[in-house]
Chain A
C-alpha cells in the first residue's frame, strides 16, 4: 500500500474529551473503557471541508475539527492515510478542491535511477501566469474574432447613429478599430482576472499551496506530494494522465480534460529540465 510508512495520527478534541486515532483503523477513545474501532470498510463516507474532517459510519458521525491537529504535518498525514484507505475501504470521499493529486492515485514503486527529484512551493503567480497562458492558448482565436466583430459593430453603430459619409469615413474606420481593440482588451483583462481567481480559489482551499512540495519525474510515473509526508517511493503511473502542456515556467499535466498537477520547472536543476521534458514527452501527448 502506498504511504504505508506514515505514522498513525492522534487527534485530541479538548471540548469533547475524545481522542481520535487515524491509522490502519479509525479509533475513538471516548469515555468508555474500550475504544470504538472501525476498520475502513466499516466507514461509509468521509467529508473534508474548510473546518473539519467528518467520518460517517452507519450509526455515528465523528467530526474532527482541523484546529485540533497539533501541526500541519499531522493534518497532511491524516488526509494521506484516509485517501489511501479510501482505495481499499471503498467509502465515499467528499473533499475540497486540490492542487495536488489524491493519494489514492499513487502506487508504491521504486522510481529508479533515471528519476529527477525536486522540491519547491507552487508559486501563486507562476501558477496564475500558467493559467493565463493556457487561457490565451485557448482564447487567442476567439479574441481575434471578437475584436473583428466589435469593430464591425462599432462601425455599424456609427453608421446608424451618425451616418457614414465620404468626409468622415477616414475618421470612423480608425475609431472602429481602436474601439474594437479596447473592448477586446477589456474582455481579455476580465478573463485574466477570472483565471487568477480560479487558481487562488483552488489554492485557498488546499493548505498544500503553502507547503513545500516534493516532485519526482521518473520513467515509471510522477509524484507531487507535500514534502512533510513524501518518502519518494510512491508514483502515479503515466498511464493515468491524458496529456501535458509545457509553459516557460511549468509542466501542466491533464487528466479527464482538467488540470491534474502543476510541476514548476524551478523545483529542479536547470540542467535537468531537458531530461525531464524528454521523459514526459516520451510518455504523454504534448498539446
Chain B
C-alpha cells in the first residue's frame, strides 16, 4: 500500500491550523521506545530513540518510568555519521520547494511520507538554535545530560496551556559541519522564507532535519531562524467545564454577606460591606451546572489543542486506529546500533566564536517557559508581587508560591519588556526581605548591559553590605566586564 497523505485547514478561535494525516507512512523518521535501561542496572528509566533511516540519532532517557513531567537526558547516539542519501535528498527537495513558495502542506508532502502513521500539525515558527541553556545546538548533545524544558508536561507552564517549541537538537552530527559551505548559506539565508525543517521531539525541543549550516548563518547575521515545524498530535486532553458565574443580583437586592467577601476589587468591597451588614442574609442562587462533557475534549500537541468536533472524520479515524508511537520495521537494526562505539570520540569541527557568543545572549528555557506561562502582567500585579503578595484582585498572579512567582515574572519581563525587567529586578534586589531570590535575580540581570544595573552592582561592592554577600561575586564580574567594555569603546 502506498503512502496516503491528506491535509486540512481548520479554524480554531480565529487562527488557521494545518493538519496533515499520514497513513501507510514509511516510518523512517520518528521516535520509538527502546525499552528500559535494564542493562544499565536502572529499571526506572525508560529509553526512547529518535531515528532517521536505520540509524538511531538521539537517545532520550526518560527518568521516573518515563514520567511526562520529568526532563529528559538527551544525547546524540554514538556511531551516527549522517543520514541516508535518499532521506537527505527528500529533505533537500522539500526545503527547496518551501523556499520557492510552495504551501506548507505541498512543500512538506514528501517529508510527511517518511513519518510514521498519525496526524500532524504543520506550521512556521521562529526557533532559537540553542539547547535552551545558551549553548549552540550543534555541539550541545555529545554527552547525555538533563535538558531543561524537555518534559512533555512542563511544570511551569502547566498542562492546560499550549506552547511553541523553540529550541533545537541537531539531526546531523557536528562532524558534518563544513565551514566552506558558510559563504553560500550566508547568502542564501538572507532570501529564504524557511530556514529549516524541524520535527518536534519533546517539550520545548525539536530535532532539526534540514538547515544546520543555515542556523550558523542566521545566528551570525542575526536573522530570525524561521522553521517549518512538524508536530505530532497524539495526546488526549480534557478541559475542565467552565463554571458559569452566578447571575448578578438586581440593583435593589442587597448583595449577600458571603458574596461581599469576595468582591472583584477593593473599592467594590468597601461599598458592598455596609449594605451587606444592613440587609438580611439571603442565599445566592447557585450557578447553573455546566453540562459535563463525557469523555475527552480533544487531542493536542505542544502548540495546539484541537476539539473533537473540529477533527476531520478520516483524521480522527487514523488517530484512533493507530498507536501513538510504534516501533518501525527497522527497530531491531536500530537497537543493535544503539550500543556502537562512536568512530571519533569528539569532533574537531569548530563553530565560529561570534555565533557561540550570540547564542549565549539568546532567550533561554526558563525565559520561554515564563513567556508561555504568563498571559499578561500589569503594573498593579508587579507592585503586588513587590509587596510580597501572590494575589491581585483575589486572583493568583502567577503561582501560589511567592518565589516561583517572582522568578517567573522576572523571566517574563526579561523577554517582553527589558526596561521593566531591569526596574523590577532592581526593586527586588533592593528589598532585603526577598533575600532568597537575590542570587537568581542577580544572575539574570547580569546578562543585561545597563547603566542602572552597573550603578546598583557598583553600590553593592562599595557598601559591602553583608546582606548582598551572595551576589558580591556576580556584581564584581559585572562591574569588571562593564568597565572593560567602556574602556574599549
Contacts and interface: CB of A to CB of B under 8 A. Distances in A.
A185 B431 CA distance: 90
Interface stretch (A31-39, A132-140, A163-171, A274-282): A31-39
A102 interface: no
B321 interface: yes
Contact of A42 (B36, B238, B316): B238
Contact of B320 (A1, A5, A27, A233): A27
Interface in A28-75: 34-39, 42, 57, 59-60
B308 interface: yes
B325 A8 contact: no
Contact of A4 (B38, B39, B323): B323
B464 interface: no
Interface in A204-236: 220-221, 231, 233, 235
A8 B323 CA distance: 7
Nearest to B322: A8
A179 interface: no
Nearest to A234: B35
A124 interface: no
A57 B309 CA distance: 21
A35 B311 CA distance: 11
Contacts, number: 85
Contacts of A7: 321-323
Nearest to A235: B38
Interface stretch (A18-26, A93-101, A145-153): A18-26
B124 interface: no
B320 A108 contact: no
B324 interface: yes
Given A110-B35, A112-B39, A4 B326 contact: yes
Interface residues of A, number: 34
B236 interface: yes
Contacts of A231: 327
A5 B321 contact: no
Nearest to A220: B38
Contact of B296 (A21, A42, A110, A112): A42
Contacts of B295: 36-38, 42, 57
Given A7-B323, A39-B296, 7 more contacts: A24-B323, A60-B294, A108-B33, A108-B46, A109-B39, A112-B39, A233-B327
11 contacts: A1-B66, A7-B322, A21-B320, A25-B236, A35-B320, A37-B320, A38-B295, A59-B294, A108-B33, A109-B43, A239-B43
Interface of B: 33-36, 38-39, 43, 46, 66, 234, 236, 238, 292, 294-296, 308-309, 316, 320-327, 335
Report the 3 A-B pairs with minimum CB-CB distance, sorted nearest first: A39-B236, A109-B35, A108-B35
